Structure 1
């Protein structure tokens, strides 16, 4: 399938089509806050993001920032770049549980060591995921875990017809 035509980039935006493959990991300076079950379960400025062609960034936060909001979930997956992933169930206030709503790479492949002891979260099941004061939208399609913000230009992997990108 041919690469899609990137959306126009407005001032203050970056295009996901300028992101590299293999992905790049970089420090993120914006604070992340996550609310679930009516409770703030994460509030941290210790954030890294992974940038990969056609994807909105995936943000990784320290496991310790979640306190007791994570428990081991079912299943595993594999990324050709980052390695074997394990999943976590996320617990929020009022007994709320989102199964397999977070993941990490306990033994990341070379070049991605900074992801050890960090967790990424799917935005969709959470009440709110806030990045630098902006409430994010989940990456389209429900399979990938990127966070869509107003400073990004797509189109984003996960929309209908993007399987071959």
Structure 2
């Protein structure tokens, strides 16, 4: 993966708002799995959600996902965004490898998050997630779907479950 442009600003998770901010982001988002490009979202088409103590979560238009995804029975509820629908994705190299519940969307989001209706979000892993060519690492724990890149600073929630960090 080629190196992208340098980050234009530092993102301090302690300065992110609550309730969260949703806005278009000027980032190129890509997701690779077993050498296949499974999602590619050009600059300006994705949204990110920024919330206190969370790494940014990226939402991409469904037409930017290059492989079919199927809904699973799992749902969760976010007090800000509404009920999430989860998906499965079959490996590009083996039908025997399917990953469940690591992709989600809001098909009926709450009013303030209407813009991400149907947009798709991916946890980091098992695939490789890139922001402007930089490989992201996952937000700690298995609950949150934030992507950590070199411009994300501060204490990111998740290491202690759903508890906010204490300073």
TM-score w.r.t. length of structure 1: 0.87
| Alpha-carbon separation, structure 1, partners of 2:81 and 2:9 | 29
Give the deviation of 1:28 after TM superposition: 1.0
Structure 2 equivalent of residue 51 of structure 1: 50
Structure 2: gaps spanning 5 or more residues: 1-7
Structure 1 equivalent of residue 5 of structure 2: none
Alignment of 1:14-163 (within 5 A): 14-45=11-42, 46-95=45-94, 96-126=97-127, 128-160=128-160, 163=163
Give the deviation of 1:150 after TM superposition: 0.4
CA RMSD of aligned residues (A): 1.7
| Alpha-carbon separation, structure 1, partners of 2:115 and 2:33 | 26
Runs of 4+ in 1 over 4 A off after TM superposition: none
| Alpha-carbon separation, structure 2, partners of 1:67 and 1:40 | 7
Structure 2 equivalent of residue 7 of structure 1: none
Structure 1: gaps spanning 5 or more residues: 1-10
- How many residues align structurally? 154
Moved more, 76-85 or 32-41: 32-41
